[in-house]
Structure 1
Amino acid sequence: MIASLVAAVVALALCCLALLGCCIWLFRRQRQQVEAQAREDAIRDKRIKALGARLDNYLESNVRMGKDLHELSRIVAPLPEKLGQLEQRDPNNFSFSQAAKLVGMGASVDDLTQSCGLSQSEAELMRKLHQARRDTD
């Protein structure tokens, strides 16, 4: 009876040692997983920060572009009226209507200055206005 009791105690001690070894192994494994998760979290946080900075730059550039477009719109808006005024300035001179036709056919600024007697800036204005009208159509 004592021998069986000793055998049971030894078996119980061996089970306790096996259980202790398993607990130690699980504890180490858990610690490794926590360290790996911390490294992955640091990488993710760094990536999120970089993406946030890129998004801020993107938003800033969009705001600047919007302001620039608004400024360009403000500058370009009176151009058709100015062209009308230029055309009405000398009703006997048909150079502006001729220039508009030539621009429609693809004439360059130099062609307009030579054939219609327009100044360089007037010819450029005609070309830009025609191009703006074509783009809106």
Structure 2
Amino acid sequence: MLIALVVLGVACVGLAAVCVWLAGRQRAQEGQVVQLAKQLAVLEQRVKEQGKRIESYQQINIRMGEELRELSRQVAPLPERLTRMEQRDPTSLSFSQAARLVGMGASASDLTQSCGLSQAEAELVARLHQGKLPE
């Protein structure tokens, strides 16, 4: 009977030690869970901030698209207007020819002499087409 009590006592001490060890592990895991919850909160905040940034970029892209559409609408009639302007004065070289000359290195003063453009027109054509290859 004494041996049974000793064995039972050792078993109880062993169980108590296991319980203490398990309680320590549980506290450690609870600490890890708290850390993970904090990290998750930080990540969720970052996701919200990135979502706001993306939404802002989308709004900017939408506005840019609208502005591009408006610019396209404004620019669309220009080739036809240029053609009409060229047809009005067939004796002088056309603006497109002046643009080609600028592409070949002609200066604004060269354009005034060879194309019959005013100084302002020649400077405008030179600035618009400077650095572009002739078509």
- TM-score class, shorter-chain normalisation, is 0.7 to 0.9
Aligned pairs for 1:11-90 within 5 A: 11-90=10-89
Which contiguous aligned blocks of 4+ residues in structure 1 show a shift greater than 2 angstroms? Answer: 97-101, 106-128
Give structure 2 stretches of 5+ with no counterpart: none
Structure 1 counterpart SS, 2:94: helix
Q: Is the 8 A contact 2:94 2:115 kept in 1?
A: yes
| TM-score, with structure 1 as normaliser | 0.76
What's the counterpart of residue 124 of structure 1? 124
| Alignment equivalent of 1:96, drawn from 94, 97, 104 | 94
Greater helix share, structure number: 1
Q: 1:81: Cα distance to partner? A: 0.8
How many residue pairs are counted as aligned between the two chains? 132
**Is there any run of 5+ residues in structure 1 with no aligned partner, and where?**
none
- Aligned CA RMSD, in angstroms, stands at 2.9
For each residue in 1:75-133, what CA deviation from the matched residue of structure 2 results, as whole angstroms up to 9, or x when unmatched?
A: 21111111111111123x223265244234233445434543324257636864x68x9
Decide whether aligned partners of structure 1 residues 61 and 108 sit closer, same or farther in structure 2, where only a CA change above 3 A counts: farther
**1:42 offset after TM fit, Å?**
0.9
Q: Is the 8 A contact 2:103 2:133 kept in 1?
A: no
Q: Name the CA distance, whole Å, in 2 between partners of 1:127 and 1:42.
A: 56
Letter in 1 for 2:7: A
Q: By how many angstroms is 1:55 displaced?
A: 0.9
